Amino acid sequence: MRVDTLETPIAVPAWRGWQSLARRARLRRLGNQSALVAFLLIVSMPIILPYFWMVVISFTARSGGVSTDVLWTACAVVIPAVLIYSVVHLMIPVKTVRVLAAIVLAVIGATALASLVGDKLHWLNYRFLWRANIIEEIRTKATAGGQFPSVWIAFRNSLALAVSQTLIILAVASLAGYYISRFAFRGREAVLQGMLVLHAFPAMTLIIPLFLILHWVGLLDTILGVMLVLATIELPFYVFVMKGFFDAVPWDIEMSAMTDGATRRQAFRLVVLPQVRVGLIAVAVFAFIRAWEEYIFVRTMLIENKNWVMSLYLFWVSDDIMGVDYGIVAAVCVFYVLPSLLLYVFCQKYLTQMTIGGIRG
Amino acid sequence: MPDFARAQVRRQRANFALFLGPALVLLACFFVAPVIVDVVLAFTDMDRTLAVTQLTLENFERMATRDSRLIASLGLTAIFVLSTLSIFNVTFALLLAIVTTAVPKALGAFFQAAWLLPRMSPSVVYALLWLWVVDPNERGLLNQILVHVLGMAPVDLRGNQPLLVIILANGFIGASLGMIIFTSAIRSIPEHLFHAARADGAGSLAIVRHIVLPALRWPISYMTIHQTLSLLVSFEYILLITGGGPFYDTTVFSLYAYRRAFENGQYAYGAALSLILIVIGVVAALGMWRLMDMRRLLQPPRIEVH
């Protein structure tokens, strides 16, 4: 029927009908999408707002209470900007326009923020980075001198723990992953199944016996002991991740290396290992972040303050001066979060490659 | 045995020790040994002095007959796990996955990144933010909104509704893992199915009901088991946010075992309590590897040369 009207000379009104139909469909789609974005914005607020607050007070709070004027002023600038950009993004599918809109909005937002709250920003809360006894200075009465180590000691401990744990995991998991991926040996199925059970098994339940074992072998309250425990309880997961990467390497290159006279070990080291570079990076980044953020095990197994890692430093700082000085606590938070967050953002393309049994880790 | 065969056996053993040895030693020392230690410990009377004087069944007797706090913590655990799981880790995760895949890709990625923030930030930081949000003062973020925007009286959620706080805090993290896994499952649905459904006149809800949900049946059942187990054994955020309190009001079972051992020094009793979790863990682990693709994992290797 429609086709008939299209072919007749009076096709113009019908054609207009299509136009308005399309317009209405587009409008309805825009309405639906805006509703969905609005829904997401509302349910995400409880997450975005606290993190935003943390950053804002780390740059604005002064000793004593905490004023939130700056937070709400900043929100009044940022939220409209995000909303306007969302509408632009939904309505205009052209990339250059979108980028242009983003830049214009960012410039306007930054100028508005600078003029409204610019004079309230300061670096004072980050002075814990260069003044060793900052916590004692704030709480002269309650805290004995030297109770808090410099933040750089905690930073160094965290770094030592995370780096050594990562190196152990890289070495052990790639060796084991390669072996169970490529070698035939007696008991292979038993090893695989045992490791699968350990992988799914919640290691948190073993915290009491692990504490005692470290105590008995004299590794309690040492970075080395915690490092071994953390490396082991995550090991089955990394072995399977590495096995997955080795499984994906074609057999042909190994075969040809061996027909050229290489031994299995040489083939592994010189030919196969370079092929799983992405897997090694993914495992390294993930293992580093996990150790960097660990709390329960370090809380239980590290006691003396010279062994504190960043999570313990932050915990005790907040425990001590939470009510007195929000700004410093927030600044320590930002300092602590930043390395792992940057790693996540910049290594995301490696992390998404990790799969195990069809489940992304 | 001819010489080359003996050499081959020797090389096989050397390879086994070289490649698998380090992993097996570590796992034996810090994974298998702790399980055995825990089982033995449960039958002893180790206390704060870390000395064992006798083997006894006293811990199990106490669990079965004399510990009323244990029963309370079991009930609490059931409420905590079931409500966090059903509200956030599955339902809300599903909602997030469906909505973020329905909006344009850049916006969806932005909101997914926002939801991943709690998972990416250290637990101490995340817990501190919750303490700020529910601060009973007028300074607390929640109270500022309640007082200044809605004109209500300030509330003390941590003191009066501690269970709600730990469910929310754990749920906001739990939702993101489900969101990622469900999103990748939705993205792997062939595009033409959506077009075909649209052409057949299906609305958005019908598409969710008849195309998206059936494709998610396997991920949902996997997530349910996985998250039940992890909620059952993890107490990190509870310890950081409420410390299990006020009094024992938010002390779930796993935290109860931890507090008995490290707060009261009753290591043997804590080990006996953990034993229950270990048994649950082993059963769930066995159940979970049935769900995995075993045939592909156990595929035999193709080169027999060592």
pLDDT tens-place values along chain B, 306 residues long: 677 788 888 888 888 889 999 999 999 999 999 999 999 999 998 888 888 888 888 888 888 888 888 988 999 999 999 999 999 999 999 999 999 988 888 888 888 888 988 888 899 999 999 988 888 877 788 888 888 788 888 888 888 889 999 999 999 998 988 888 888 888 888 888 888 888 888 888 888 888 888 888 888 888 888 888 889 888 999 999 998 878 888 999 999 999 999 988 899 999 999 999 889 888 887 777 676 655 555 565 555 555
The whole-angstrom distance between B66's CA and the closest CA on chain A is 22
Q: How far is CA A208 from CA A150, A304, B236, B255, B260, in A?
A: 30, 19, 15, 12, 10
Q: Which residues of A touch B239 (CB under 8 A)?
A: 296
Buried b (16+ CB within 10 A) or exposed e, B43-73: bbbbeeeeebeeeeebbeeebeeebeebeeb
Shortest distance, CA B161 to any CA of chain A (angstroms): 18
Residue B217's pLDDT is what?
84
Please judge whether A233 and B30 are an interchain contact, meaning their C-beta atoms are less than 8 angstroms apart.
yes
Secondary structure class of B55 (helix, strand, coil) = strand
Selected for mutation to probe chain B from A43, A172, A205 (highest B CB count within 10 Å) is A205
* CB < 8 Å from B in window 139-158 of A: none
B80/A333 Cα distance (integer angstroms): 28
Candidates A39, A44, A47, A235, partner chain B, best to mutate (most B CBs within 10 A)? A47
Residue B120, min C-alpha distance to chain A (Å): 7
Instruction: Give the pLDDT of residue A361.
Output: 37
Quick check: helix, strand or coil at residue A356? strand
User: Which domains can be identified in chain B, with CATH numbers?
Assistant: 71-250 (1.10.3720.10)
What is the rounded distance in angstroms from the CA atom of residue A357 to the CA atom of residue B145?
45
Q: Closest approach of chain A CAs to the CA of B193, in angstroms? A: 19
Degrees, nearest 5: CA angle B148-B154-B156: 145
| A196 at interface of B, judged by CB pairs closer than 8 A | yes
Q: Give A151-360's CATH code, choosing from 3.40.50.2000, 1.10.600.10, 1.10.10.10, 1.10.3720.10.
A: 1.10.3720.10
Q: Could you tell me where in chain A the CATH 1.10.3720.10 domains are found? A: 151-360
B201 part of contact set with chain A, CB < 8 Å: no
- Rounded to whole angstroms, what are the CA distances from A321 to A135, B132, B158? 8, 13, 19
Closest A-chain CA to B49:
A212
Residues of B in contact with A206 (CB under 8 A): 31, 34-35, 38, 274, 278
User: What is chain A's mean pLDDT, rounded?
Assistant: 83
Please give the residue of chain B at the shortest CA–CA distance from A229: B30
pLDDT digits (tens, 9 = 90+) for B174-226: 898 888 888 888 888 888 888 888 888 888 888 888 888 888 888 888 888 88
Q: What integer pLDDT is reported at residue A145 of this predicted model?
A: 53
Residues of chain A below pLDDT 50: 1-8, 11, 357-361
Say which of A53, A90, A172 has its CB closest to residue B104.
A90
Q: What is the pLDDT of residue A37?
A: 87
Distance CA B247, CA B250 (A): 8
The model's pLDDT over B31-55, given as tens digits with 9 standing for 90+, comes to 999 999 999 999 998 888 888 888 8
pLDDT in tens, B183-193: 888 888 888 88
Q: What is the pTM of this model?
A: 0.86
* Model ipTM value: 0.86
